[in-house]
Structure 1
């Protein structure tokens, strides 16, 4: 019988994947209010309040200052690092009138057309750096 793997060591391995943020329980806790804010934009009246004064609307949510600044800057990569879930964050870019493809392309540094072409060709290549720690 093998000893069970330490859960903390196992979860730490997810942080070694370049360009990927696995939505773990720790990220869910960190981003709880951020994601609740994003989901609030599903209601038309909240979208109108948001559009009228984004900073004032955010002030009603117990977000960290980093989270608030990342929302206002529409820095989706930073929001993922701060506990955002892309499916919840999609409510923000949908409110801005962006499609999923348009918003996600901003996260890759590619144009919408380049991003669409990459995804239509099967996605990102598995070749290249596969581990931050090992540089492989």
Structure 2
């Protein structure tokens, strides 16, 4: 579904009625809920691709750094700082 958002017409249709658009693609109830609630982590857990999920995030004017922060438990600013200083530190 998110891959279809590369086309302006589809972005307009999605924005007009997100639930109906999800239904057109046969999303499971869990997938649909994750999309409608913008539960980015659930989208990944349910098999979403980061590349396609990012297309949805861009509709919400969210950056890849924002998503990186969500997935790592950091703020956007913390994530950017970590990347600029050589990446996340583990351990």
Normalised TM-score (structure 1): 0.62
**Is 1:56–2:20 an aligned residue pair?**
yes
In the alignment, the residues of structure 2 paired with residue 107 and residue 123 of structure 1 have an alpha-carbon distance, to the nearest angstrom, of: 14
1:77 aligns with 41
1:113 aligns with 77
2:11 aligns with 47
Normalised TM-score (structure 2): 0.90
The structure whose RCO (Cα within 8 Å, separation 6+) is larger is 1
Superposition deviation, residue 68 in structure 1: 0.6
| Bigger helix share | 2
> Which structure has the bigger radius of gyration?
1
Unmatched segments (≥5 aa) in structure 2: none
Q: Among 49, 73, 95, which residue is 2:59 paired with?
A: 95
What's the RMSD between the two structures over aligned residues? 1.2
Unmatched segments (≥5 aa) in structure 1: 1-36, 128-136
In the alignment, the residues of structure 2 paired with residue 84 and residue 64 of structure 1 have an alpha-carbon distance, to the nearest angstrom, of: 12
Superposition deviation, residue 115 in structure 1: 1.0
